[in-house]
Amino acid sequence: GAGVSQTPSNKVTEKGKYVELRCDPISGHTALYWYRQSLGQGPEFLIYFQGTGAADDSGLPNDRFFAVRPEGSVSTLKIQRTERGDSAVYLCASSSHGQETQYFGPGTRLLVL
Amino acid sequence: QQQVKQSPQSLIVQKGGISIINCAYENTAFDYFPWYQQFPGKGPALLIAIRPDVSEKKEGRFTISFNKSAKQFSLHIMDSQPGDSATYFCAAIPPGTASKLTFGTGTRLQVTL
C-alpha cells in the first residue's frame, strides 16, 4: 500500500514569508507526528496528533509554528514569518493505533533565503 | 539535553566486515529502542527494534545488543555490504504507544569494496 507522502518535496521561500507543508499519512493510521531534521542531525520531535487533536506539541520551537489535522487524516504544518534558521527537512510519520513503529515520509526540504 | 548519545559520527567498513554503532541513553523510562536507516533524500525507515527485557535481538545480518544496567545498546551489521551505506539512527521511546521518538545524532556508514 501507499506510504506516507509529503508535499512539496522542496520549498524555497524568502525570510518573512508564510509556508504550509502537507502530510498524507498511511490510510487508517490514527497517530501522526512531525519532526524536523537539520543537516547532520537526527530528527527532532515537533508535534504529535492522535486523531484530530494535538496530543503533544511540546516540540514546537515557538508560536510561529502551528499544525492542524482537521479530519484526522491529512495534516498541515504552518510556519509564519519564516527565518533562515527554519531551513531544515520537515519529516512526517504515522503509526497505527497501539503500535510503536512510526513510518516516515520522504520529508519536505525547506530553504529560507 | 541530549537524551540519546550515539557514536561514532562516521564509520568506514570494508565489504564483508562488521559495522558496530553504539548508543547510550539517560532516561530510564525509555522502554523501546528502534534503529532507523536513512538513505540520502529519503525518510528514516525502521530497521530493527528491541525492548529492555531482552539482551539481544537478531534479524538477518542485523543484531541489537542491549545492556540495561549500563543504559547502552548497539547495532551490529554482519557481512556489511555497499548497499548498507547509509546513515543510521538509534532512538528511544517512553512507555505507552504513540509516543514521540528521541533520536541519536546519527552515524554515517560507508561500506567500501
Whether the CB-CB separation of B93 and B31 falls below 8 Å is answered with yes
Instruction: Provide the grid cell at A15.
Output: 525570510
- pLDDT band, residue A97 (cuts 50/70/90): confident
Number of Cβ atoms within 10 Å of the Cβ of B75 = 25
Query: Do residue A35 and residue B101 have CB atoms under 8 angstroms apart?
Result: yes
Among B93, B95, B90, B59, which residue's Cα sits nearest to residue B77? B59
How close A14 comes to chain B (CA, Å)?
Answer: 23
Of B97, B104, B105, the CB nearest to A98: B97
Number of Cβ atoms within 10 Å of the Cβ of B12 = 13
Residue A89 pLDDT more than 60?
Answer: yes
How many Å apart are CA A68 and CA A63, to the nearest integer? 14
How many Å apart are CA B3 and CA A35, to the nearest integer? 16
How close B18 comes to chain A (CA, Å)?
Answer: 23
- Look at phi and psi of residue B55 and say left if phi exceeds 0, alpha if psi is from -120 to 50, else beta: alpha
Average pLDDT over residues A68-74: 94
Read off the pLDDT of residues B54-113 as tens digits, 9 standing for 90 and up. 999 999 999 999 999 999 999 999 999 999 999 999 999 877 655 789 999 999 999 999
